[in-house]
Amino acid sequence: MSLRLLVLYGSYRADRMGIRLANYLVTELSQLGHDVELIDAKAIGLPMLDRMYKEYPEGEAPETMEALAEKIRSADGFVFVTGEYNWGFQPGLKNLTDHFLEEWFWRPAAIASYSAGRFSGVRAATAWHGTLSEMGMVVISSSLAVGPIAQTLDDSGAPIGEGGKSLSRAFPRFAEDLAWWAEAAKAQRAKVKPPY
């Protein structure tokens, strides 16, 4: 079954390394037959959270926010690509995510983390798990952790070296886990209206 998936990425840095992982995921998930779109927080450029999407009167949200809300609502699942900043997650991706709430409900989220070092962003992934659960998503048990990212993916997002081989071995389970939950949630939403 082809699924509509959003890959969300949030670094605002000039020399972004995590875009390699985001591009890898878009490519690999697309090759499985899914409709995949990269949502780049820096490119979208939402302001620091002042008013959530739902706090605007209907039809009065900024155009960029309205378009993103529709993309989130129409998605079957999400992949959050997170770097680690001082044991935490990137503020750009968190800010984008916090602009919405009900739009995320009743769909699965997967977490792919990265860093320049050997911990591969796992502390940020752990922090995201609770946040995404609180925001109404089911976080799948499979995750990807990539690091050192410059020795795992090249500039185009292609796997390189031993890290790249390890990532390529881990990806199929990650993708299958996400697809299973996305298909299950999609079928259930079609059958029974969510309780809230």
In a domain? residue 73: yes
Looking at the 3D structure of the chain, how many domains does it have? 1
CB 86: neighbour CB atoms within 10 A?
7
Are the beta carbons of 42 and 13 closer than 8 angstroms? no
Spatial contact of 40 and 55, defined as CB atoms under 8 Å apart: no
For residue 25, tell me if it sits in a domain: yes
Q: Give domain status of residue 163, yes or no.
A: yes
61: in domain: yes
With a CB cutoff of 8 Å and minimum separation 6, the contacts of 77 are 3, 5, 6, 107, 108, 109, 110, 178, 179, 181, 182, 185
Please state the φ and ψ torsions of residue 72, each to the nearest 5 degrees. Answer: -65, -45
Any domain includes 29: yes
Q: Is the torsion defined by CA of 84, 89, 93, 97 positive or negative?
A: positive
pLDDT in tens, 156-195: 999 999 999 999 999 999 999 999 999 999 999 999 988 8
Residue 137: inside a domain: yes
Note the pTM of the prediction, 2 decimals: 0.96
Q: Residue 114 belongs to a domain with what CATH number?
A: 3.40.50.360
Closest residue by Cα to residue 158 from 140, 143, 171, 175: 171
pLDDT category of residue 136 using cuts at 50, 70 and 90: very high
Does an H or E element contain 7, and which?
strand 4-9
User: Where on the phi/psi map is residue 116: left (φ > 0), alpha (ψ -120 to 50), or beta?
Assistant: alpha
Task: Confirm whether 81 is domain-assigned.
Answer: yes
Residues spanned by the domain of 83? 4-191
> Is the residue at 196 inside a domain?
no
How confident is the model over 38-70, as pLDDT tens digits?
999 999 999 999 999 999 999 999 999 999 999
